[in-house]
Amino acid sequence: MCILNYVQMPIGSLRWQFLHGLRSNVYQPTEGPPDSTTSPPNCTPHLAFHRFGNFRRRLQEVIVVVGNLVTMDHHGRTARLELEDANVRRFAAKVLDVSSEGIVLDRSAFYPGGGGQPPDFGALSFDGIFCRILGVRKGDDLYLIPNEEDPLPAVGTSVEGIIDDVRRFQLMRTHSALHLLSGVVFRDFGALVTGGNMEPLSARLDFNLSEVPPGFKETIDEMCNLEVSANRAITTYSLPRDEAFAIPDIIRTATNLLPDDLEIVRIVDINGLDVQADGGTHVSSTAQIKRMRVAKVENKGKGFRRVKIELEE
């Protein structure tokens, strides 16, 4: 669907995670303004984020159906922990590089953004100091974008990464809601996705739907919330390319953009409703999405309809 990153993950990736003793630890944000030198950050430093508004918009306006076509469980020198466990909120890492590009770690659970899902925010903790992370940029490495006013860790420093739990979980809910919406519209109306985008708790999908049936908005609203109430399990796993393409309708976009040389495909499966190739972060059941509302249906040109959704807090 629109929020797809088709992810190539080598066999043995899960084994790598266990060998490194990864443990989930959900961060609970603190209240009040952060002091980067003495106390944990709120992890929602909105006053600082406005400086990166243009950067964030560029990342979030990727509406070309597929974000990053081929990624590994590593990006450059960084092992991507969030691909194996979207619930990781704290992790240990070592600083490999610090430059004007950003901070490079040997391992990270910061989702770097792609395919419509924005990057994570959070912080790095080291020597009793906190450096706020205001985004992630993908280049030859994964570059964490620090708050320019905060102290930076030196190369070789051991740090603890802290993901903004509130933002990440809202994006997980929103991303899963888009998969649910795509599944419902495909099942009931046979329409494929042509684009999409999201912010925490609000999002949109574009469909190749030539005509809007009477009561379309109200119908998909009702059907989506019935699927939320059904508490369907949401799981991720990897399959060899041939096995993945044997799944009926595995590609829910109007154009199949999987590279021909992609050998392993990461799958997101909403049990009994939707199975798609995808590389983002998701909740573990449709019930965790909570109440979703179809806010608007727009005509975006001949044969294209945009569906906007909002999720309750």
Note the pLDDT tens digit of each residue in 168-183. 999 999 999 999 999 9
Which amino acid appears at position 99 of this protein?
A: S
Lowest mean pLDDT among 102-116, 177-191, 214-228, 261-275: 261-275
Candidates 167, 24, 18; CA nearest to 89 is 24
CATH 2.40.30.130 domain span(s) along the chain: 25-65+72-163
pLDDT given for residue 246 in this prediction = 83
Residue range 56-78: mean pLDDT, rounded: 48
Q: For residue range 113-131, what is the model confidence (pLDDT) as tens digits? A: 987 899 999 999 999 999 9
* CATH hierarchy code of domain 25-65+72-163: 2.40.30.130
Strand pairing report for 102-105 and 90-99:
antiparallel
pLDDT given for residue 248 in this prediction = 75
With a pLDDT cut of 70, the percent of the chain lying above it is 73
Q: For residue range 247-295, what is the model confidence (pLDDT) as tens digits? A: 877 665 545 555 666 778 888 999 999 998 888 999 999 999 999 999 9
pLDDT given for residue 258 in this prediction = 59
Four-way CATH pick for 169-311: 3.30.980.10, 3.40.50.1370, 3.40.50.460, 3.30.450.20:
3.30.980.10
Helical axes 165-189 vs 216-229, angle rounded to 10°: 120
- Output the DSSP codes for 6-68: -B---TTHHHHHHHTT-------PPSS---TTTS---S--HHHHGGGHHHHHHHHT--SSBS-
pLDDT band at 55 (very low <50, low <70, confident <90, very high): very low
d(CA 144, CA 132): 10
Question: Which phi and psi (to 5°) does residue 117 adopt?
Answer: -85, 125
Which amino acid appears at position 275 of this protein?
A: V
Lowest mean pLDDT among 35-39, 188-192, 278-282: 35-39
Residue identified by tokens 């109440």 is 291
pLDDT band at 75 (very low <50, low <70, confident <90, very high): very high
pLDDT given for residue 233 in this prediction = 98
pLDDT of 11 strictly over 60: no
CATH 3.30.980.10 domain span(s) along the chain: 169-311
